[in-house]
Structure 1
Amino acid sequence: MTRQIVVGVDGSAAARAAVDWAVLDAGRRGLDLELVHVCEQRSHSEGVEYCAGALEATADRARGLADVKVTADLRPGNVVEELIAESATADSLVLGSRGLGGFKGMLLGSVSNAVAGHATGPVVVIRGPHPVEHRRIVVGYDGSEHARAAMEYAIEQARSRRAELYVVTAWQVPAFSPYAVGYSILIEEIVQAEPRRARELVEPWRDANPDLVMTDEQPCDHPVTALARAAKAADLVVVGSRGLGGFASALLGSVSHAVLHHATCPVAVVRPAKE
């Protein structure tokens, strides 16, 4: 069975941007596309008619953008629950950053936030049209299981786009008491060791993917700050749903959550398949 990308649509401008992104991604990676519109006003005939019309118009537009098989599915129910269920069998789930019900000042809507935290596979959140192509995929990597899943998705994206893969492994100096004896020597050792350790994390991936242009940086900075900065010259930022510093019970870590809010380009949040 051909893998497919699922896009949540609702007639909003953000959803249209999500469809545009997903059509191109499906074309590059040889995937089908399924558009899902969850009509939560099923009891009102005018609500169903609006949903059906918006979905059909979106499907026609998607078919005109690329030679991709497009299916459209209109269904009742709760939009978050339906999209999370779709993620179980989808290659990836693509959403606009906020839909028709979102406040204009919000960068991330409640639906995209909830789905990113609970979906089974990769969730890509699109903030809006991005006419400038940088030919660079950024991935945050810390060696955790979630980061490895993110790296695998980022590699597939970079390969399909023939783009550079830019790996960011940020690290921070631990806080020390100013009264601690010899702490300056310890800090110096950390400053020398951490970048080296970060580079060593990336080397196996570079060796296993010689066809890719893979560059990396090890900034002494907060991961969110480093990734948001890198996002300014990226076509996509990929992060694991949580990293080494996350609580085991957390569905969406603080870094992935903050990157969703602050990155200016599309963001993919990836969870290991077995979860």
Structure 2
Amino acid sequence: MTATAAHTHLVEPRPRFGDLVAAEWIKLRSLRSTWFGYGATALAVLAFNVGTAYDTYRNWSQQNPEGPEGFVRAGLPLDEAFTVNAVTVMMLALGALGALPIVGEYATGTIRTTLAAVPARRSVMAAKVVVVTAVTAVFGALVAGVSFAATQAILDQRDAGVSLGDPGALRVVVASALLAPLCALVGLALGTVLRQTAATMIASVLVILVLPMVFTDGRHWSAVASHSTLYQAWRRLVAVDYHPLHYPWTVAGAWTVYAVWAVAAVVIAVAAVHRRDQ
């Protein structure tokens, strides 16, 4: 056997991207804490939404003197399909859960093993992005769908529920569902940059929850900055009766904010792991 042939025989084939995705999926599903986190988040979100709808059902005569027609006309069934409290919990929790696949490896030191086995860092990070996006997208769809079905079933007992075919209903469900993967990708990007669990969690809270509170609609620059946050984009997408006081913006603009955050998070995550050492 010649030296060239021996060298060719010893070179291991590069791992396929599908293999990397499968490996990241195994890592994720093997951690019981991950599923506990998703389960607790789902229960909390459903509790807020269903609890609000049940409170409306129980106190119907006191809270809704105009009857079912006025309740539906004001868009309140969709407000209760996915409440502000529920979306706040989901955004914060998914930011933390999205960061776990990377900060967990940095915390335990297994990132060295991962990158030693697969030196193609961009491919490793892209696989993490695919797994995190897929898992959280399914999570968001299930939680948003179940919330909508459950809340409208409760409100139907007062003839005040709406169906998915009613104006704005599908947009509320889709916008709420997509917040899960979006916030998870933000957490993943922050975790890749910061690499420390505590710092990542704090940064996630600041970016996802605190930043939208900093800006107001009183001035143009501040309104534009506010509109560029995920939370305010969600508020615009789920608004049924939209009447801004100062600076209006469109549904298309809110969807664009969603897309920009997703692309930016993926680019930061992939670029950061490539440019830094272990």
What TM-score comes out, normalization by structure 2 length?
0.25
* Higher relative contact order, structure no. (Cα contacts within 8 Å, ≥ 6 residues apart): 2
Structure 1 or 2: more strand by fraction: 1
What TM-score comes out, normalization by structure 1 length?
0.25
